[in-house]
Amino acid sequence: MTFVREADYGTPASKAEARVTLEIDGREVTVPAGTSIMRAARESGVNVPKLCATDMLEAFGSCRLCLVEIEGRDGTPASCTTPVAPGMKVRTQTPLLHDLRRGVMELYISDHPLDCLTCPTNGDCELQDMAGAVGLREVRYGYTGENHLEEPKDESNPYFTFDGSKCIVCSRCVRACEEVQGTFALTIEGRGFDSKVKASAADPFFESECVSCGACVQACPTATLSEKSLIEIGTPEHSVVTTCAYCGVGCAFRAEMRGEQVVRRIPHKDGKANRGHSCVKGRFAWGYATHRERVLKPMIRAKASDPWQEVSWDEAIQHAASEIRLIQAKYGKAAVGGVTSSRCTNEETYLVQKLVRAGFGVNNVDTCARVCHSPTGYGLKTTFGTSAGTQDFDSVEHTDVMIVIGANPTDAHPVFASRMKKRLRQGAKLIVIDPRRIDLVKTPHIEAAHHLPLRPGTNVAVLTALAHVVVTEGLADEAFIRERCDWDGFQAWAAFVAEERWSPEALESATGVPAAEVRAAARLYATGGNGAIYYGLGVTEHSQGATAVMAIANLAMATGNIGRPGVGVNPLRGQNNVQGACDMGSFPHELSGYRHISDDNARAIFESLWNVKLDDEPGLRIPNMLDAAIDGSFKGIYIQGEDILQSDPNTKHVAEGLSAMECVIVHDLFLNETANYATVFLPGSTFLEKNGTFTNAERRIQRVRRVMSPLNGYEDWEITQLLSNALGYPMRYTHASQIMDEIYESAPTHRLPYSPTALRKENASRLWPKETQPHG
Amino acid sequence: MTKLFVPADVAALALGANEVTDVLTRAAATRGLSIEIVRTGSRGMAWLEPLIEVETANGRVGYGPVSAGDIPGLLDAGLLTGGAHPLAIGPVDQHPWMRRQTRLTFARCGVIDPVSLDDCVAHGVFKGLDAALELGAAPTIEAVTKSGLRGRGGAGFPAGIKWKTAAEAQADQKYIVCNADEGDSGTFADRMIMEGDPMALIEGMAIAAFAIGADKGYVYSRSEYPHANATFGEALGLLLRARPLGPHALVKRKPFDIERRIGAGSYVCGEETALLESLEGKRGQVRAKPPLPAHRGLFGKPTVINNVLTLATVPWVLAHGADAYAALGHGRSRGTMPIQLAGNVKYPGLFEAPFGLTLGEIVNDIGGGTASGRPVRAVQCGGPLGAYFPPALFNTPYDYEAFAARDGLIGHGGIVVFDDTVNMAAQARFAMEFCAVESCGKCTPCRIGSVRGQEVIDRIVAGERREMNMRLLEDLCRTLKLGSLCALGGFTPYPVMSAVRHFPEDFQRAAAQTERQEALP
């Protein structure tokens, strides 16, 4: 584990298929057409000096360090803005270029504070690197000329500072805010020597439109924009690639470390979900791991009204196990259950359901996805055969028309929203179906073609009206449907949606959406090229949630918008591992891999693996467990990483249910609201303290790597294992990967190709069920 | 009814043309004389402004420079019949300054009423467009290529090749953009066209649009040109009302619309890519090339961006044939150039002539030497970024390549004359200062280098480490020339280094003085 900086190729990769061969410094290089000379050089191992170029941003050509000479061409073009051409002969190091680069560096340094030794980015500064690379030996201008050394610092942002005296006006921050994040909060104010980076026309950063995503900080080649943690702690000495635990986007990060202390988190450019970008939470908000309110010692109490009592792990586990066994002895085996967490790893989720099914001996296991995306699971499995979305995130780069229904990506999935916005700025059209005027409806350089502000509760009506237009206006893709769908089923559906009562006009009074807008939106989606639907909890968290999901799937199939990049049905999952938690058999009726508990073959696999007899009847869902608790037949629950009192509907009912239980075991980082009803509290570990995998909204399985020892003493799966062993059901895992091995073993390979070997590879991630080749 | 012509050109206005017109109108009324005063552009003889012309049997007879107080005397002397008077210059066409010219681009400027469609058409407006429509798009481009017409904005890039590139680009939308942001000090040809013959420009844009398949054009002018903008706007409105643009025969083809935009005073917005950014509503900042505007220009669409003079010359080329234009000129510089003489010169103004006159002929024969009567010491050619030429180089032919061979440039055709009182070290410093003031701030050499350049020259002049600082200035100029993103930084070394090379004594004199002073006990 050493600190390795990610390679920067200077300009983004070209997606062209045609390849071009040229010569750089006497070496033949073959790259995709449209590649910059700079990138081609880097790919062949030649580093051209640069400051304003980074492969996260389009070429800009302002620093003038990357000049090269091209045989047969006049002048010294910038290698970042000049594309390769067949047979081109480029020289990146000549006496002339040496002089010019020195000349440019001499200018830079004549307006830069010479405080390298005390600068927070000492040793990690591109300006410093370049001074070395170009061989700067003196600054003949002296340091008495006009300069910016007295520029004030802006420390208003809680996570980073802006030190104008160190700014080289490369515009990387401004461009990152525009191109990567799409917020357009930063600009260059003034001209010439007076050019200065400003946030929202000279507001302090924190009061500006800045959303603190940190893309500017990452882009800054100097110490101008620096993380406050870096300033405070110092430069990192090693880094570990891991996966963010906040939302369903699943951003890959490099945790940059100093010993076991996180210095900063830098989004990983190789991250297939985030492509090097992050949001404020992922990048800056990991402080909860060491927050003073985090509980690190196990606690028990006789009654929920008693004060907590810190105990040893051994005592807590023995107490919890004996409570479970006592309840089972007194009220029957089925009087207990468990809840898995969409915030924990696949391995941990799998282990909790295993504990419940094999250790408790019941199928009373459920997960927090119960209240969010279980309609997605049901709806997509019914329509497409698999409980998952159809696309990866990269697909959005090929989308021509986006429909966003019941989701607010800029708030809830900001990193993916930035990718959506990028595509929209490139010209893709947008249809928003949401009662709210979400940011995407009108945001810098983006305006929705149609916003259908429907009345809450009328999702299915609007979707049916859209289908009505598609069918009655002849916009259905018959060839696609005949080849890929059930033609008879389609006809029955078409006949239904074509009924006049489902026309936009007939439904207008119910939905509140002008019929003309519905018609225009349907036409755009059906005829505007690749159409993709993105939806969120505004669709699923309804009594008609599954129906709406199926209506969405039908709309996509009817218009042929399935089965290629740029189209599809895309649930935007809320928590980081909703998909994984569902995959791992967290539902009472399904074993991992969505195999029904009544399926004898499936059960046989697990019975032999787990060495137990499994109940063939589905167990209780969370609401049923609570009902049963109020009825007096359900008395004990083990809840890992979920605050059901806060997240489940009808808080009063949840509270009554929890109060009626005799043993509530809460396994979490903090004393959450549910813990008010608990008698056992098992302190959990953060994602920084554990190994395992998360599966994001695009079904990408990504590694979570332990970067620091668990402050509570154990990774979460170890705690589940302790409990299981105390219950008398032995578990003998010594590493999370052994759980993954078991998951793999239990899964028919064609359904769930988790390959532990591939996943263990550095930075590897896998998509299931479609992807067969390792992705990393 | 006698027809008189008084320029409404801003140079004439500055010298009292409106007052002259008012007094003349009143005096004629008092005397019961029937006159009609037509406001024209300027003939370009700035020292004669306001130049009144009267239509006589012998053609248009001129009087100038006329002040309001001269009017009674002029009328007494028979102004309306071309009578003799100390201010009379005879038939304007026969004036030696006019006879020496070959006025193609400026043929109508100062002659016609720029906002009378009938007058313009009577003088041949739309003949070029008709010819282009007759030829077809591709042959039109071919004709422009064959004529040898090069971009008159300064870069001298062959117009036909630019057009061909844009014509061949595949896109749903293409644009014609006219660069009318004439910011070079000592230049005024674009303004004179917009004030004197705006329809030539509109016609040129229509031809370009037809040739490359564009249906929308923009004219990017400047807030410093309120009169030009008003006259151009009036002519454009007239044409739009009279017939849908794509005027004339274009009616039955694709329509063509022109929009006028006014810049807010940034010199660098005259640089074509910064101009496009500004047109898009963004910060006026230079874009890196490639992509060329002809491939990805305004709003990312293929765009032909040409200077006013280039576009205003196109109708003549089409109307009279490429060969007629190409027959004129010198070397690879074909056709004529509207030379703008300014500064300390006896006969300032606009002089259109085929390329090939020597610089000496232009300055001394045509310009008549300095206005102060002192010896000419330096001539800056091609605007504020052009080189200073000493009289020793006056044998240089006015030709893009010949000037380049002497580290100079033709640019937009400006020539500014200085007499022997000029301090060339101060001029060199001014070039750096100009660059610093006008820099967009994007590229490092221009942003920081222009400021350092002033400081280094100050040190040289102050005699501080003169040799080292002279070397540093030279190094800086090379970094600016080869390292800058656009011509602003790239050409600032031309005036600086030409001053250093041709007038080294100006950098040493002060220095020597200071050094002597420092040496004193």
Both B140 and B209 in a single domain?
A: yes
User: Which residues partner with B69 through β-bridges?
Assistant: none
> Under an 8 A CB cutoff, do B451 and A64 touch?
no
**Which residue of A lies nearest to B443 if distances are taken between CA atoms?**
A62
Q: Do the first three CATH levels of A19-93 and A126-290 match, i.e. the same topology?
A: no
Give the tokens for residue A42: 């880097």
Q: Report in angstroms the alpha-carbon separations of B384 from A353, A566, B373, B429, B461.
A: 79, 52, 24, 12, 21
Q: Report in angstroms the alpha-carbon separations of A551 from A401, A436, A535.
A: 18, 21, 12
Residue pair A70/A94 in contact (Cβ under 8 Å)? The answer is: no
Contacts of A67 in chain B (CB under 8 A): 482-483
Instruction: Flag whether residue B283 sits within 8 Å of chain A, measured between CB atoms.
Output: yes
Return the closest-CA partner of residue A368 out of A381, A377, A358. Answer: A377
pLDDT at A762: 55
How close A106 comes to chain B (CA, Å)? 10
Among the partner-chain residues B289, B438, B443, the one whose CB lies closest to the CB of A62 is B443
Beta strand pairing status for B175-179 and B303-307? parallel
Among the partner-chain residues A63, A80, A140, the one whose CB lies closest to the CB of B444 is A63
Direct distance between the N- and C-terminal alpha carbons of chain B, in angstroms, rounded to an integer: 82
Among the partner-chain residues A59, A99, A195, the one whose CB lies closest to the CB of B441 is A195
> Under an 8 A CB cutoff, do A63 and B443 touch?
yes
pLDDT at B252: 45
Q: pTM value?
A: 0.93
Instruction: Flag whether residue B313 sits within 8 Å of chain A, measured between CB atoms.
Output: no
B31: which DSSP letter? H
Q: Which CATH class is domain A19-93?
A: alpha beta
Instruction: Flag whether residue A62 sits within 8 Å of chain B, measured between CB atoms.
Output: yes
How close A182 comes to chain B (CA, Å)? 16
Contacts of B268 in chain A (CB under 8 A): 191
Residue B345 has pLDDT above 70, yes or no: yes
Q: ∠ CA B109-B111-B113 to the nearest 5 degrees?
A: 90
Tell me the average pLDDT across A400-428.
97
Both B459 and B487 in a single domain?
A: yes
Give the model confidence (pLDDT) of B130-157 as tens digits: 899 899 999 999 999 999 999 999 999 9
User: Phi/psi of residue A751, each to 5°?
Assistant: -95, -40
Q: How confident is the model at residue A770 (pLDDT cuts 50, 70, 90)?
A: low
Instruction: Flag whether residue B484 sits within 8 Å of chain A, measured between CB atoms.
Output: yes
* Burial class of residue A139 (count of CB atoms within 10 Å of its CB; 0-12, 13-18, 19+): middle
Number of domains in chain B: 4
Instruction: Flag whether residue B446 sits within 8 Å of chain A, measured between CB atoms.
Output: yes
Does B110 map to a domain? no
**Which residue of B lies nearest to A196 if distances are taken between CA atoms?**
B441
Average pLDDT score over chain A? 94
Contacts of A187 in chain B (CB under 8 A): 283
Instruction: Flag whether residue B280 sits within 8 Å of chain A, measured between CB atoms.
Output: no
Residue A54 has pLDDT above 60, yes or no: yes
Tell me: cis bond preceding B65? Omega within 30 of 0 counts.
yes
pLDDT at A751: 46
Q: How confident is the model at residue A763 (pLDDT cuts 50, 70, 90)?
A: low
Contacts of A148 in chain B (CB under 8 A): none
Residue A773 has pLDDT above 70, yes or no: no
Number of helices and strands in chain A (H, E) = 27, 31
Residue B201 has pLDDT above 80, yes or no: yes
> Under an 8 A CB cutoff, do B440 and A191 touch?
yes
How close A446 comes to chain B (CA, Å)? 15
Both B301 and B182 in a single domain?
A: yes
Tell me the average pLDDT across A44-55.
97
Tell me the average pLDDT across A461-474.
98
Return the closest-CA partner of residue B480 out of B470, B488, B472, B489. Answer: B489
Both B387 and B479 in a single domain?
A: no
Return the closest-CA partner of residue A549 out of A389, A725, A773, A336. Answer: A389
Give the tokens for residue A565: 């990049």
Give the model confidence (pLDDT) of A616-632 as tens digits: 999 999 999 999 999 99
Q: Which CATH class is domain A126-290?
A: alpha beta
Give the tokens for residue A749: 């390979």
Both B351 and B499 in a single domain?
A: no
Q: ∠ CA B192-B197-B203 to the nearest 5 degrees?
A: 125
Both B179 and B318 in a single domain?
A: yes
How close B482 comes to chain A (CA, Å)? 6
A730: region left, alpha or beta (phi > 0 left; psi from -120 to 50 alpha): beta
Residue pair B101/B338 in contact (Cβ under 8 Å)? The answer is: no
Both B257 and B309 in a single domain?
A: yes
Report how far residue A311's alpha carbon sits from residue A452's, in angstroms, rounded to the nearest whole number.
Answer: 56
Give the model confidence (pLDDT) of A69-121 as tens digits: 999 999 999 999 999 999 999 999 999 999 999 999 999 999 999 899 999 99
Q: Name the superfamily (CATH) of residues A374-571.
A: Dimethylsulfoxide Reductase, domain 2 (3.40.228.10)
Report how far residue A587's alpha carbon sits from residue A381's, in angstroms, rounded to the nearest whole number.
Answer: 14
Among the partner-chain residues B436, B468, B484, the one whose CB lies closest to the CB of A192 is B436
Does B432 map to a domain? yes
pLDDT at A776: 31
Q: Report in angstroms the alpha-carbon separations of B144 from B139, B154, B308, B388.
A: 9, 18, 15, 32
> Under an 8 A CB cutoff, do A103 and B283 touch?
no
Q: How many CB atoms lie within 10 A of CB B487?
A: 19
Q: How many CB atoms lie within 10 A of CB A552?
A: 30
Both B201 and B258 in a single domain?
A: yes
Instruction: Flag whether residue B445 sits within 8 Å of chain A, measured between CB atoms.
Output: yes
Residue A232 has pLDDT above 90, yes or no: yes
Contacts of B451 in chain A (CB under 8 A): 145-146, 192-193
Instruction: Flag whether residue B273 sits within 8 Å of chain A, measured between CB atoms.
Output: no
> Under an 8 A CB cutoff, do A103 and B476 touch?
yes
Report how far residue B471's alpha carbon sits from residue B427's, in angstroms, rounded to the nearest whole number.
Answer: 18
Report how far residue A420's alpha carbon sits from residue A570's, in angstroms, rounded to the nearest whole number.
Answer: 13
> Under an 8 A CB cutoff, do B436 and A64 touch?
no
**Which residue of B lies nearest to A111 if distances are taken between CA atoms?**
B448
Strands (E), A47-139: 69-70, 89-91
Tell me the average pLDDT across A229-236.
95
User: Phi/psi of residue B252, each to 5°?
Assistant: -90, 5
Q: Is the dihedral of CA B364, B368, B373, B377 positive or negative?
A: negative
Q: Report in angstroms the alpha-carbon separations of A633 from A32, A356, A586, B425.
A: 67, 17, 22, 99
Both B9 and B60 in a single domain?
A: yes
Contacts of A58 in chain B (CB under 8 A): none
Domain of residue B474: give its range.
Answer: 424-519
Give the model confidence (pLDDT) of B347-370 as tens digits: 999 999 999 999 999 999 999 999
Instruction: Flag whether residue B155 sits within 8 Å of chain A, measured between CB atoms.
Output: no
Instruction: Flag whether residue A624 sits within 8 Å of chain B, measured between CB atoms.
Output: no
Give the model confidence (pLDDT) of A485-524 as tens digits: 999 999 999 999 999 999 999 999 999 999 999 999 999 9
Report how far residue A81's alpha carbon sits from residue A61's, in angstroms, rounded to the nearest whole number.
Answer: 6
Element (H, E) at B259: strand B257-263
Instruction: Flag whether residue A70 sits within 8 Å of chain B, measured between CB atoms.
Output: no
Percent of chain A clearing pLDDT 70 (strictly above): 96
Instruction: Flag whether residue B483 sits within 8 Å of chain A, measured between CB atoms.
Output: yes
What is A299-372+578-767's CATH number, 3.40.50.740, 3.20.20.100, 3.30.2010.10, 3.40.50.300? 3.40.50.740
Residue pair B280/B269 in contact (Cβ under 8 Å)? The answer is: no
Chain centroid to CA B473: 31
Q: Which of A375-389, A466-480, A632-646, B53-67 has the lowest mean pLDDT?
A: A375-389
pLDDT at A662: 97
Strands (E), A259-305: 261-267, 299-300
> Under an 8 A CB cutoff, do B440 and A192 touch?
yes
Residue pair B1/B35 in contact (Cβ under 8 Å)? The answer is: yes
Does B112 map to a domain? no
> Under an 8 A CB cutoff, do A195 and B288 touch?
no
Residue where a domain stops, chosen among B368, B396, B419 = B419
User: Which residues partner with B341 through β-bridges?
Assistant: B349, B415
Contacts of B441 in chain A (CB under 8 A): 169, 188, 190-195
Both B252 and B148 in a single domain?
A: yes
> Under an 8 A CB cutoff, do B483 and A145 touch?
no
Contacts of A64 in chain B (CB under 8 A): 443-445, 483-485
Does B108 map to a domain? no
Residue B244 has pLDDT above 80, yes or no: no
> Under an 8 A CB cutoff, do A100 and B266 touch?
no
Give the residue with greater pLDDT, B63 vs A593: B63
Tell me the average pLDDT across B164-177.
96
Residues 6 or more apart whose CB falls under 8 angstroms from that of A322 comprise none
Instruction: Flag whether residue A77 sits within 8 Å of chain B, measured between CB atoms.
Output: no
Both B266 and B374 in a single domain?
A: no
pLDDT at A755: 54
Instruction: Flag whether residue B279 sits within 8 Å of chain A, measured between CB atoms.
Output: no
Tell me the average pLDDT across A744-773.
58
Q: What is the 3-state secondary structure (H, E, C) of A674-723?
A: HHHHCCEEEECCCHHHCCEEEECCCCEEEEECCCCCCCCCCCHHHHHHHH
Tell me the average pLDDT across B280-304.
95
- List the domain boundaries for chain A: 19-93, 126-290, 299-372+578-767, 374-571
Give the tokens for residue A4: 């390795």
Both B465 and B511 in a single domain?
A: yes
Residue A403 has pLDDT above 80, yes or no: yes
> Under an 8 A CB cutoff, do B445 and A104 touch?
yes
Return the closest-CA partner of residue B500 out of B367, B399, B409, B407. Answer: B407
Tell me the average pLDDT across A549-562.
97
B-proximal residues of A, 656-695, CB under 8 Å: none
Residue where a domain stops, chosen among B300, B326, B352 = B326
Number of helices and strands in chain B (H, E) = 22, 16
Does B105 map to a domain? no
What CATH number has the domain bearing residue B376? Answer: 3.10.20.600
Q: How confident is the model at residue A653 (pLDDT cuts 50, 70, 90)?
A: very high
Instruction: Flag whether residue A107 sits within 8 Å of chain B, measured between CB atoms.
Output: yes
Residue B3 has pLDDT above 70, yes or no: yes
User: Which residues partner with A89 through β-bridges?
Assistant: A23
How close B404 comes to chain A (CA, Å)? 14
Instruction: Flag whether residue B324 sits within 8 Å of chain A, measured between CB atoms.
Output: no
Instruction: Flag whether residue B328 sits within 8 Å of chain A, measured between CB atoms.
Output: no
To test the contact with chain B by mutation, choose from A99, A193, A222 the residue with the greatest count of B C-beta atoms within 10 A, namely A193
Burial B126-144 (b: 16+ CB within 10 A, else e): bbbbbbbbebebebbbbbb
What CATH number has the domain bearing residue B60? Answer: 3.40.30.10
Give the model confidence (pLDDT) of A673-709 as tens digits: 999 999 999 999 999 999 999 999 998 999 999 999 9
Instruction: Flag whether residue A307 sits within 8 Å of chain B, measured between CB atoms.
Output: no
What CATH number has the domain bearing residue B288? Answer: 3.40.50.11540
Percent of chain A clearing pLDDT 90 (strictly above): 90
Return the closest-CA partner of residue A561 out of A619, A475, A498, A496. Answer: A475
Residue A756 has pLDDT above 60, yes or no: no
Does B106 map to a domain? no
